[in-house]
Structure 1
């Protein structure tokens, strides 16, 4: 290329270093991209951080019986593990909340939403490693 051998070696080294730098930058932006903390979790993450209660049957204040089941989503793996250990306390909270309700409280989505929020609040009061993000009522049968 050039008649001076030293210039040729210097150009080859500079081009090589530039290519390595560009490749390192591309790899860094692809693999070490910071996750957006405000982004919604994927469904796989939601399932991984959730537990499902057993079916709970209890009396309502209006002398009706309800069978219900809940899915409780936590914010991290430690909170999920703690929630699994506190299963008996969670079921107790759910039974207490349901026993204070009437059949008419389940007639609309507002009543169910209020129940889910109250259960979430009560469970967060006993949690130490993280907190409950969402409570979903997955089964509800009032008789």
Structure 2
């Protein structure tokens, strides 16, 4: 009697464990596909704003001519960013005026200014967020 009861309990325990493991694998498999979906290029362009060329002086008395494309997370964020264009230009000029020409050289320099612009603009945004800032042209004289 005890052996029969023990066998039934063991079979039930193994069955429940297998069902749980299968359920976990299925849930993880389906959730991964939905979270990692990158936006298409059309969606990126629809949610992006062009910042026209800005010419300003740097801390090192050099001049820079630079333009950006700012990618937001939604169309509402894009509309808000378009209205805040004067604030974005101000942020860019302020950040560049505190930098020297040699700080902007190379990949790290470009990533530095992109990151600063992104962080400062995100602090202004109310309807969404800036996802990425791209430098579309840059010339230091």
Tell me the TM-score normalized by structure 2.
0.75
1:124 positional shift: 0.3
1:105 positional shift: 1.1
Give the Cα separation in 2 of the matches to 1:74 and 1:49.
5
Unaligned ranges ≥5, structure 2: 1-32
Tell me the TM-score normalized by structure 1.
0.74
Unaligned ranges ≥5, structure 1: 1-34
Cross-structure match for 2:59: 61
1:108 positional shift: 1.1
What is the number of equivalent residue pairs in this alignment?
Answer: 109
Give the Cα separation in 2 of the matches to 1:82 and 1:124.
11
Give the Cα separation in 1 of the matches to 2:62 and 2:120.
24
Q: How does 1:110-121 map to 2 (within 5 A)?
A: 110-121=108-119
1:39 positional shift: 1.0
Give the Cα separation in 1 of the matches to 2:98 and 2:36.
36
3-state DSSP class of the match of 1:53? strand
Give the Cα separation in 1 of the matches to 2:120 and 2:42.
26
| Structure 1 outlier segments of 4+, above 3 Å | none
2:131 aligned with 1:139, yes or no?
no
Aligned-residue CA RMSD in angstroms?
Answer: 1.1
Cross-structure match for 2:34: 36
1:106 positional shift: 1.8
Cross-structure match for 1:102: 100
Could you say which structure has the larger radius of gyration? 1
Give the Cα separation in 1 of the matches to 2:126 and 2:36.
23
1:119 positional shift: 0.4
1:38 positional shift: 2.7
Of 48, 51, 54, which aligns to 2:49? 51
Cross-structure match for 2:78: 80
